[in-house]
Amino acid sequence: MKKLLVATAFGALLLSGCSLFHPKDNAWERAVEERPLEVPPDLDTPPTSAQLVVPPAGDAAAAPAAAGTPPGAVAGDSLALADDVDNAYRRVGMALERSGVGTVTARDDAAHSYQVAVQTTVVHEKQGGFFRRLFSRKKKETVSGTVSVTVSAEAGGSKVQLEGERNAVQQVLAALKARLG
């Protein structure tokens, strides 16, 4: 009987948890909201240009940056080259062919444009609860897309504009940055 009483008392002590050992005064219950942070007036914002400056082949250190475009700024659909339009068009064409990102299906030398057929893989996330996501596989789908790549003149160089399906554009842009950078 004494063992049962000791076991019951010990069980009650365990079930009471840590509340016996911690003070009842919780700091988070007394916390008050502070005023939000303020940005100092002399702080300037980072550049919002959405272009990547790629120097011409050869001496990369002496290449002039495109006007108004900081080096290293990445765009979702365009990039800048510090080169004339004809040379940039030729470099972009070679980069597209050698990268293997897709197949150049059409080119227009007068308009300085390419059409690229790209195969992209889209991953669809499973919706549902924890166990459904744990025991099911992600659905992968291969999608064909066409990306239009156009090279045009811009102050201080050339601009490469990409248009098409978002994933395909990102894939071609990444390949161009890797080849031209």
Q: What's the pLDDT tens digit per position in 56-103?
A: 665 444 434 444 333 333 334 888 888 899 999 999 999 999 988 888
Q: Is residue 33 part of a domain?
A: no
Please list the residues that pair with 141 across neighbouring strands. Answer: 122
Cα–Cα distance, 177 to 49 (Å, whole number): 16
Question: What is the tally of structural domains in the chain?
Answer: 1
Are residues 153 and 87 in contact, defined by beta-carbon separation less than 8 angstroms?
no
Q: Is residue 160 part of a domain?
A: yes
> What confidence score (pLDDT) does residue 63 get?
39
> What confidence score (pLDDT) does residue 21 get?
60
Segments in the chain below pLDDT 50: 59-76
Q: Is residue 14 part of a domain?
A: no
Domain of residue 143 covers 72-125+139-180
Q: Is residue 166 part of a domain?
A: yes
pTM here?
0.51
Q: Could you give the C-alpha distances from 60 to 40, 55, 56, 81, 181, in angstroms and in order?
A: 36, 6, 7, 12, 9
> What confidence score (pLDDT) does residue 89 get?
93
> What confidence score (pLDDT) does residue 71 get?
35
> What confidence score (pLDDT) does residue 149 get?
92
Cα–Cα distance, 157 to 64 (Å, whole number): 9
Q: Is residue 86 part of a domain?
A: yes
Q: Is residue 150 part of a domain?
A: yes
CATH number at residue 80: 3.30.530.50
Q: Is residue 25 part of a domain?
A: no
